[in-house]
């Protein structure tokens, strides 16, 4: 069982080496359990190794945000495009990104985490820094396989998946309910309901569209619009083409194949970015956030990040330090008249205002 006879002879003929599973092929684990945390060890290790060089540099908050968005967020993407990331791995990667964001090159030195991580990983439009929510990013990448299965006309991988699991209608495979050795496609197939609700069908020849069960007229399937007629009908699983052939009306259809269109993009094509916005529910949208003034201006990125801290009332003023357990005098260092809050320091302090007007220069 699980042994290849005369494997040495075959290796000599093919000019290859005899190896063992699990192994790595093209950067992906081969023969390993897809739900194991161990397959992510190399990703975590690479992220940690990056920090060794970065911590030796004096980077501003804006510089650290740029490195997280361009490098640390991108490093797990290749693996996340195929495997469901383990919850404990998300916590590890979040801890790496979070600590680097707030501590920078202060290795071993405890620094304040000024804004909740759940707020940091939202989009800039929602008041965050645009750092990726790994769980939402992972699921949006997996959804692309379901789109390709439904939209691609040909593909060897598609033929193999359909032959292995069977079809459930024209757009996807049957739901996988078998044990762990088939867990990879089962994980992807389980996302189908999230995907299906954001499709619309562009009717062509009617060969792939179910007359009663698909949404092709109105906003709901016809079986929900006309339940009494549906219960009496004997062709509950008929396609539109089959139904029209019965009525001898098939000539009213055209010769193009039915197509699925992704509702969240104007051209009807699936995009991971749109799926990410759909799945990213990290935090509720703030009532008001001056994100356009912060991020769309021509100011340096490090200044924009500091302005973001001000907008979140997170700058370490005297009152914020006291909330974190520091024993300090709460009065403003400049005017010594009011409590030093973010609003007072940046908006209402008369001394700072005079500095801005140039009257003290």
User: Which pLDDT score is estimated for 209?
Assistant: 83
Q: How far apart are CA 224 and CA 215, in angstroms?
A: 10
User: Which pLDDT score is estimated for 229?
Assistant: 86
Q: How far apart are CA 3 and CA 335, in angstroms?
A: 82
Q: How far apart are CA 96 and CA 98, in angstroms?
A: 6
Each residue's pLDDT tens digit, 133-171: 999 999 999 999 999 998 887 788 888 888 988 888 888
* Residue 327: pLDDT over 50: yes
User: Which pLDDT score is estimated for 361?
Assistant: 42
Question: Phi first, then psi: what are they for 55, rounded to 5°?
Answer: -70, -15
Mean pLDDT of the region 319-341: 84
What percent of the chain shows pLDDT beyond 70?
Answer: 89
User: Which pLDDT score is estimated for 359?
Assistant: 47
Mean pLDDT of the region 88-117: 85
Cβ neighbors of 338 (< 8 A, separation 6 or more) are: 331, 332, 344, 348, 349
Beta bridge partners of 262: 199
Each residue's pLDDT tens digit, 38-82: 889 989 999 988 887 776 567 889 999 999 999 999 999 999 999
Q: Is the dihedral of CA 268, 78, 197, 148 positive or negative?
A: positive
What average pLDDT does the chain have? 83
Identify the residue with better confidence: 127 or 178: 127
What percent of the chain shows pLDDT beyond 90?
Answer: 19
**In contact, 78 and 125? CB cutoff 8 Å:** no
Q: How far apart are CA 85 and CA 62, in angstroms?
A: 28
Q: How confident is residue 94, by pLDDT bands cut at 50, 70 and 90?
A: very high
Residue that has been written with the tokens 């908006």 in this structure: 347
Count CA atoms within 13 Å of residue 224 on its CB side: 9
* Residue 21: pLDDT over 80: no
Q: How far apart are CA 113 and CA 68, in angstroms?
A: 16
User: Which pLDDT score is estimated for 131?
Assistant: 93
* Residue 104: pLDDT over 90: no
Each residue's pLDDT tens digit, 161-176: 889 888 888 888 888 8
Residue that has been written with the tokens 């996340």 in this structure: 80
User: Which pLDDT score is estimated for 284?
Assistant: 55
C-alpha distance from residue 118 to each of 47, 121, 123, 153, 285 (Å): 21, 6, 11, 40, 12
- Whether this model's pTM surpasses 0.95: no
User: Which pLDDT score is estimated for 360?
Assistant: 41
């Amino acid at each position: 069982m699980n042994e290849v006879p005369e494997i040495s002879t075959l290796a000599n003929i093919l000019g290859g080496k005899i190896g063992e599973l699990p192994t790595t092929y093209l950067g992906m684990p081969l023969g390993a359990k897809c739900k194991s945390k161990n397959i992510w060890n190399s990703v975590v290790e690479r992220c940690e190794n990056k920090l060794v060089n970065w911590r030796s540099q004096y980077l501003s908050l804006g510089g650290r945000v740029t490195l997280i968005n361009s490098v640390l967020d991108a490093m797990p993407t290749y693996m996340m495009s195929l495997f469901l990331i383990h919850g404990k791995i998300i916590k590890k990667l979040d801890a790496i990104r979070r600590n680097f964001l707030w501590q920078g090159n202060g290795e071993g030195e405890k620094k304040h985490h000024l804004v909740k991580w759940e707020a940091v990983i939202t989009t800039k439009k929602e008041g965050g820094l645009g750092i990726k929510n790994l769980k939402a990013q992972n699921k949006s990448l997996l959804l692309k396989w379901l789109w390709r299965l439904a939209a691609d006309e040909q593909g060897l991988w598609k033929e193999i998946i359909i032959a292995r699991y069977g079809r459930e209608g024209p757009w996807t495979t049957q739901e996988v309910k078998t044990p762990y050795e088939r867990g990879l496609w089962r994980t992807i197939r389980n996302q189908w309901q999230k995907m299906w609700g954001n499709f619309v069908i562009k009717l062509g020849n009617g060969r792939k569209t179910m007359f009663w069960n698909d949404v092709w007229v109105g906003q709901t399937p016809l079986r929900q619009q006309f339940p009494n007629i549906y219960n009496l009908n004997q062709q509950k699983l008929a396609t539109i083409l089959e139904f029209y052939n019965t009525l001898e009306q098939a000539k009213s259809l055209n010769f193009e194949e039915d197509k699925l269109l992704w509702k969240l993009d104007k051209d009807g094509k699936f995009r991971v970015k749109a799926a990410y916005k759909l799945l990213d529910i990290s935090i509720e949208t703030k009532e008001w956030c001056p994100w356009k003034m912060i991020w769309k201006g021509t100011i340096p990125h490090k200044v924009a990040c500091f302005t973001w801290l001000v907008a979140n009332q997170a700058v370490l003023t005297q009152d914020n330090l006291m909330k974190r357990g520091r024993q300090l005098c709460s009065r403003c260092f400049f005017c010594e008249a009011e409590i030093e809050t973010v609003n007072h320091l940046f908006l209402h302090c008369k001394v700072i205002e005079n500095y801005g007007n140039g009257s003290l220069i």
